[in-house]
Each structure stands twice: as C-alpha cells, then as structure tokens.
Amino acid sequence: MRIAPCALLLVAACYRGLELGSVDSGLPPDTLGSALTDVEAAALCQARDQHFAELVTADDLHHYACVLQASFAPDCPSAYDACIRMEYVDDPPATCSLTFDLATCNASVADIEACLSAINIRNSDYFKSVSCSGGDPGTGTAVPPVCSEIVPVCPGIA
C-alpha cells in the first residue's frame, strides 16, 4: 500500500503544469489574435491577469517588490529586511494591457493562451525565487518553448 502514495506523488510532480491551471478567456480557440475585437482582447488580457493572480500570493508580490526596491540600495539584504517588515499594499493598474500588438498577431487564441500561461508560470517562478543574491537570471527572461513556436506569426508575444 505504500507504493500507491509514492506513485501519486510522482504523477503529481509530472503534471505540475496542469495543477497550475492556464489562461482561459473562453474565446473560440481557433480565432486569430488579429481578428479579436477590443472586448475580446480585454477578455484575453483579464484571463491572463486572473491566471497570474492564481499563481502568486500577496506575499510573493511583496517579496518581489522588496527585492526590486532593495536592489538599488548599497546594502540589499538590509534594505530587503526593512521593506519586508512594512505592510504591502497591492496597487494593480486600472486597465489591463497586453505587451504585444494583437493586430499583428496571427496566432490562434489557443496558441496565445498557451504562451501566456507559460509566461505567467515563468514569471511567477521568478517572482518567488529572485533575491538580493540574484536568482536565476534566465528564469525571468527565457522564452518558453510554446511561445517560440508562435513568435514568427505573433511578434512581441515573448
């Protein structure tokens, strides 16, 4: 009976991406990004932001903000410690905006959502791992493979 729990842990570890969810705008998956209306683009953007919000906690955002702020101080660890003791107030932007131009994106909604999901997972991992002593610089900037496949038809997505 001990084999079953171990097997379940192995399966869970293998399917990490599934447990992290994905961007799901509810838009038709075969529609091209360039064909989306402003309302549909806003739905895609909001779905991206909702997915990211599911991946990171307020503590993760506080940690990232403090590392970013402290990185400009002469003594990063001390500045980080002072920052992390302060109350964190999340102040999201009033409007959602994508970082690429949908008008020139000829990838399908399904491919765009898969890429945005991978970017969110990459970014959440980076937000959680970055520190005054660095962190993996490639974590926050590496283009996810699923995005590399659509960059030629959706410039700027990654």
pLDDT per residue as tens digits for the range 11-36: 333 334 446 799 999 999 999 999 99
Q: What number is the average pLDDT over the span 128-140?
A: 71
> Does any domain span residue 45?
yes
Q: What number is the average pLDDT over the span 105-112?
A: 98
Domain count, the chain: 1
Matching residue, tokens 């399917």 = 15
**Nearest CA among 94, 102, 100, 108 for reference residue 41:** 102
pLDDT tens by residue, 65-92: 999 999 899 999 999 999 999 999 888 7
Full-model pTM: 0.81
Taken in order 55, 59, 63, 66, the sign of the CA dihedral is positive
Containing structural domain, residue 72 = 3-27+39-95+116-142
> Does any domain span residue 152?
no
